[in-house]
Amino acid sequence: MDFRLNEEQQMLQDTVARLVRGEYSFEKRLEYSESELGFSADFWKQLGELGLTAVPFAEELGGFGGSGVEVQSVMTELGRGLCIEPYLQSVVLGGGLISQAGNSEQQEQWLGGIASGEIRAAVGLQEPQSFYNLNDVETRAEKSGEGYTLNGRKAVVIGGHCADVMVVSARTSGDSRDAQGISLFLVPADTEGLERRTYPTVDGSKGCDLFLNNLQLGSDALLGEEGKAAEIIEYQTGRAISALCGEAVGAMEVACDLTLEYLKQRKQFGVPIGKFQVLQHRMVDMMSELEQARSMAILAASVADEPQSDERRRILAAAKNVVGRSGQFISEQGIQSHGGIGMTWEYNFAHYAKRLVMINHQFGDDDFHLEQYAELLQ
């Protein structure tokens, strides 16, 4: 099979690459991370003006109709630049949930703005006790007049501190871990009863916890059919996993390049340390892990938009396992190759390592997805 990008896909990837190289230096990233917003508003605006935030949406919704391959191409370049804009949360996952579950009025209200970058979305699916199980939902949505009253807490909502709208899961029926009975709701940022507590994450982004305290929503806030959201969440999370694999590959490429360059320059006993055989073997192992991860990311992109099936589930679980494991291996071996400088704040390798470790834990770590894969084989 030919896994090379076609001309249009290559042009898309080159556009993102030029934008990241020109606008996103490591020093600027540190400034963006420490700002109140937590990322660059100007860079986000440029993503929108270039149509990059519109890539995954259908043309009738203001998008380009891109597939998982196009989305992954964008995410790979954002990963190379270690960009901290909430592209994954707003465009891929938030926009995906609204596209699949929303009615025509909801799509018209939100998706045009998300596709243009003028509206930012965030997604609250995790809770403090859920530990990767997105069916573990204790947040409750009770019928109240013509709408719903929500009470509960959502944890580690990346980009939620500045989002215009949140897509949150809440239980309308069933026990706390039942797949049936989970519903999705659109929560505008100015809704009374919504409290957001913001904090920095270890990889330089900003996360927040959402506290829903007797939050009143109308019936038009229900996204999709009541109690039937679990399959939609699983499907769109799969698309997000494919995109995240692309970001990880981009970050791993740079991490390997930085390590190789350091081995060529750093000298001990009068020779570059890259001359030592043990470090040569370590570098080969890192590059081997990168190639495995790249192959699995391509495979994940090829099924990201396919109809749900056990085969799609298996491929995405395998991809997340391999990419997560490889990213953590490259981070650890790169730090060992660098020595102490590999963990200093002023050197960019440490930030790539932190991001790769966090990617391993997003949407389930490598052990979690290995268990998922094994269960699907049975």
Tell me the per-residue pLDDT of 316-369, one tens digit each, with 9 for 90 and over: 999 999 999 999 999 999 999 998 888 898 999 999 999 999 999 999 999 999
pLDDT at 7: 84
pLDDT at 322: 98
pLDDT, tens digit (0-9, with 9 covering 90-100), for 171-188: 999 998 999 999 999 999
pLDDT at 1: 57
Domain 7-119 is found in CATH 3.40.50.720: no
Distance (Å, rounded) from C-alpha 133 to C-alpha 141? Answer: 19
pLDDT at 9: 86
Distance (Å, rounded) from C-alpha 367 to C-alpha 370? Answer: 5
Low-confidence ranges of the chain (pLDDT < 70): 1-3
pLDDT at 247: 98
Topology (CATH level 3) of domain 230-377:
Butyryl-CoA Dehydrogenase, subunit A; domain 3 (1.20.140)
pLDDT, tens digit (0-9, with 9 covering 90-100), for 143-159: 998 899 999 999 999 99
| CATH of the domain spanning 123-223 | 2.40.110.10
For the chain, give every domain's residue range: 7-119, 123-223, 230-377
pLDDT at 190: 95
3-class DSSP string for the chain: CCCCCCHHHHHHHHHHHHHHHHHCCHHHHHHHHHCCCCCCHHHHHHHHHCCHHHCCCCHHHCCCCCCHHHHHHHHHHHHHCCCCCCHHHHHHHHHHHHHHHCCHHHHHHHHHHHHHCCCCEEEECCCCCCCCCCCCCCCEEEEECCEEEEEEEECCCCCCCCCCEEEEEEECCCCCCCCCCEEEEEEECCCCCEEEEEEECCCCCEEEEEEEEEEEEEHHHEECCCCECHHHHHHHHHHHHHHHHHHHHHHHHHHHHHHHHHHHHCEECCEEHHHCHHHHHHHHHHHHHHHHHHHHHHHHHHHCCCCCCHHHHHHHHHHHHHHHHHHHHHHHHHHHHHHHHHHCCCCHHHHHHHHHHHHHHCCCCHHHHHHHHHHHHC
pLDDT at 204: 93
Number of Cα atoms under 13 Å in the Cβ half of residue 290: 22
Residue 142: both structure tokens together: 């009770």
Cα dist. 67→297, 301, 352 in Å?
Answer: 14, 8, 27
